[in-house]
Structure 1
């Protein structure tokens, strides 16, 4: 019984997509003028918060790909506007159920992880990692 209580007590914090959001007032050492996470993503209801997690993962994968495609890591390349990531989400996942959103987030996470080291090398050269 104590083990069951542990899982019940910790389950929301372990799987909560809201834990992946970035505070709006966060200051960054690298590229401090990067576009902030759209405020509406932080304000999603708990029911819709997983959508924000998917958008953030799309953004991460796209930003790494941008760096690799450009062969350089300026702040503008590494941290573009959120517009394209939000549009990609809207075009492909708006109205998707939670399982489809989980699959999408994992697909984008895998893409990002696959290309992360190549992007990191370029960004380290530029001092933007």
Structure 2
């Protein structure tokens, strides 16, 4: 009888745990940023880009991120307008240099911008943390 109770308890735990874990992973619909609540939205064309072209959206996001980190380092300031500038300049870079590029050229450029942003992040992070914007 003791074995039956033990097995029943173990089975109960096994089946209850995933349900509990799933309930804890429910995303909220509130997409409010932690810092700089007035961040400019991505351009509409990026939000509506076709799935087959989503690699281009990723490139634009990485260009934006790298440029943001560079601006912080150059200005030695992490004001919201410095960290989250309008998207127009980044769009210009993308359309001028990469919009007509082949897939692998875009993937390579994305990797380069990501690497650049990660390197600059080391310098930008302490600046932003000091200002409470990280």
TM-score (norm 2): 0.76
Report which of the two structures shows the higher radius of gyration computed on alpha carbons. 2
Alignment of 1:102 onto 2:107 = yes
Give 3-state SS (helix, strand or coil) of 1:48's partner: helix
Equivalent position to 2:126, from 117, 121, 126 = 121
- Show the counterpart of 1:90: 95
Provide the aligned length of Structure 1 versus Structure 2.
105
Please name the residue that 1:69 is paired with: 74
| Secondary structure of 1:35's aligned partner | coil
Write the deviation string for residues 79-123 of structure 1: whole angstroms up to 9, x where unpaired.
Answer: 000111111111110111110000000000010011101101100
Residues in 2 aligned to 1:83 and 1:127: alpha-carbon distance in whole angstroms? 26
Deviation (angstroms), 1:29:
1.6
Q: What per-residue deviation string (whole Å, max 9, x for no partner) do you get for residues 9-29 of structure 1?
A: xxxxxxxxxxxxxxxx72112
Cα distance in 1 for residues equivalent to 2:57 and 2:82: 22
RMSD: 1.0
Aligned partners of 2:133 and 2:41: how far apart in 1?
17
Moved over 6 A (4+): none
Q: Unaligned stretches of 5+ in structure 2?
A: 1-29
1:34 aligns with 2:54: no
Which residue number in structure 2 is paired with residue 18 of structure 1?
Answer: none
Unaligned runs of 5+ residues in structure 1 are 1-24
* Residue 39 of structure 1, CA deviation: 2.2
Which residue does the alignment assign to 2:86? Answer: 81
